Structure 1
Amino acid sequence: MDIRQELISRFFRYAAIESQSNARATCLPSSPGQAALAALIADEMRVLGLADVRVDEHAIVTGVKRGNRPEAPAIGFIAHLDTVDVGLSPFIRPQILRFDGKDLCLNAKDDIWLRVGEHPEILGWTGEDMIVSDGTSVLGADNKAAIAVIMTLLARLDQQTHGDVFVAFVPDEEIGLRGAKALDLARFPCDFAYTIDCCELGEVVLETFNAASAEIVFTGVSAHPMSAKGSLVNPLTMAIDFIAQFDRNDTPEHTADRQGFFWFKDLVAHDSEATLTCLIRDFDSDGFNQRKRRIAEVAERVRSTYPTGNIRYQVTDTYRNIATSLAHDDRAARLLFDAMDGLQIDRKLIPMRGGTDGAVLSARGIPTPNFFTGAYNFHSRYEFLPIPAFESSFEVALGVCRLAVMSISPNCLT
């Protein structure tokens, strides 16, 4: 089987397993399909001769493809098992359609079309085959295209000179990077790693947000309205006054590029208590810390306005900008750029207005940039994966492994 067919075959096989994460669940993994996918991948890894293959109680899969150049840096690849829940069907029915420059009918029965006028980014792939869903779900190339790339890489490494290659497949990336946080790094002891996630051909992520979440709890004083004057303290009013202290333009819908924001996401209240949640994002470390201090400052200001009420808050770091880690060790980025240059793939560096599993790993001491799967419109029923871009993702992963060996001995490449 050639590489193209293997990539497609693996993607269809993995997409057939429903593995949508469930943000309402508190267990890890949050859905049984992720455990089923983990078991399948682990079985395939054993067939491919990987060592130390393990699936832990959280459906985190780890293993290593031992190399024939042990002095080469140990490289890691990580991908996530879950697909995102955006209110569409959790069941993915991928198909391959040739794009001829005209609107693509994804589903004749339900009259679902991928229209060029709405998605002009597809025009660069005229004349190529696309993997798309039937329009009732996301495609799930985020992140099953990456799983297919990594597994195909493992299948082909026997034909290469390479160092140790560690792999990890983790659950619940889409609902807070939960799997990467639970990954036992003793089972992923690489020098540096790569996430392969979302993003069109050539896109590379060397920067992410610094991220934190804040929970602010407002305790009021309940009273019957007939005797409320001078005694009732409405916790809902306290929460609204708290939000009003922030700039309405300092929000996700009014910011772009490297601008940070506060995002008040949830407010639950009753007569005595209100709980407000807020996401804090900033690329700059100083700005990030200032935003966290802002939560405390506003809490004290509102507290002084309601002396018989109370406010308590907790700010919890979620992940850190991977640029901080890469500034101390740029080997992963240099190898990635060299691999892309060798394949004549133009680099498209983007500051990721979000996080990746690599942000968690970078904060835990493993520098982990991200590169493309080749897919477009992730988290959408109009997600599409040009097959040539899919192949290029694999070629970059293979190129990184080969170049890592060249970095220690320029004459050992086969």
Structure 2
Amino acid sequence: MTSTPGKPSGRIFGRGSWPEVRRIADILRVETVGGALLLAAALLALVWANSPWRDLYRVLGDARIGPAGLHLDLTLNQWAADGLLAIFFFVAGLELKREFVAGDLRSPSRAVLPVAAALGGMILPALIYVAVNARAGGDALAGWAIPTATDIAFALAVLGVISTHLPAALRTFLLTLAVVDDLLAILIIALFYTSSLHLAPLLLALLPLALFALLVQRRVRSWWLLLPLAAVTWGLVHASGVHATVAGVLLAFTVPVIRRAEGPGIGLAEHFEHRFRPLSAGVAVPVFAFFAAGVSVGGLSGFTSSLTDSVALGIAVGLVAGKTAGVLGASWLVQRFTRAQLAEGLSWWDVFGLALLAGLGFTVSLLIGELAFGVGTESTEHTKIGVLVGSLLSALLATVVLRIRNRHYQSLHEVEERDADADGIPDVYQGREPQP
């Protein structure tokens, strides 16, 4: 991007194109419903884990099913984390590839902001966690990546509860940041949370993966061909010691994306996304949350004791302060070095509210906690406390900040929805800019 000295080179948090805005609005509707189910599942788990029937909750999570001969006699906890979340990461991989191949983010000038914000929102929370746990000893430092994740479903559920009308550009930014965040999280899981690596099954996984890639590149949609190949790929990656959710991302990256200039209709990536996103948002993530979020707090004294543990404290501070400062700071640096201006009608207060929302790190944070400390350990229980408290504080603070500007957001939303000629495309995406 070139610019004249002393003049801004463009705007950040711009609306983007109408096809992308409409597509992302459809995605956000599904994710918002999924977020409500996620919250309901997490609440049910918390109530059950602190009820007189708490032992039954543990027994349910530890129940084993699956073929032992294939080393897949896993607990329901493990099936939720390794199996169902592979669907979640498959959808995230599809969305990321779609954004960078055919979406607005194929332009480096538009991609730099969410990528930089995601990086800032991961690095600073990790540093804060390490600083808090530097003297803790033991395996506390293994959880450094826990506060680095953003849960888009949780964030959208909060937006739905507080009934705020964020402009399209801010919603798009939040979704894209979370998707980039998910990709970085899966890289962290693959690189830092693989305890033992078995090369033979990992190399064998390349065979069904390659055949899956060949079929989807030929636009084959037959589920009876693709699903068995995907399942075998998943099983071999699981056997290799690499977390099985990595298979979801690898499979997603093989799926072709059609560019609008290449012809009408939707590509295979969009087809799969439409099919699997409701399953991911409505089943996979809520079920994982149900098995992962249940923690017995042991009354007020037990809750206070757990929260003062360095692991829980590092996570909570990392999510609330680290995520906010990281996302906000990285966004400001992009604006500073590109000499761009905020889009008309937006202020840094709005970016601050969005950065607070990024501190809702639930699904992937709980997953990394289990990988770092093991299922059922004391540190994992403290992880759950830290994630729940940090996410709740981020949600409450974001609610306060965003509600202050909600009337302004409503006026911007009305402008973005106005369609004077009733052609199905809002006027602002046709070069007509009515004032809010």
TM-score greater than 0.5 by the shorter chain: no
**Greater share of residues in helix:** 2
**Greater share of residues in strand:** 1
User: Whose RCO is larger (CA < 8 A, sep 6+)?
Assistant: 2
TM-score (norm 1): 0.26
TM-score (norm 2): 0.26
Question: Which of structures 1 and 2 has the bigger CA Rg?
Answer: 1
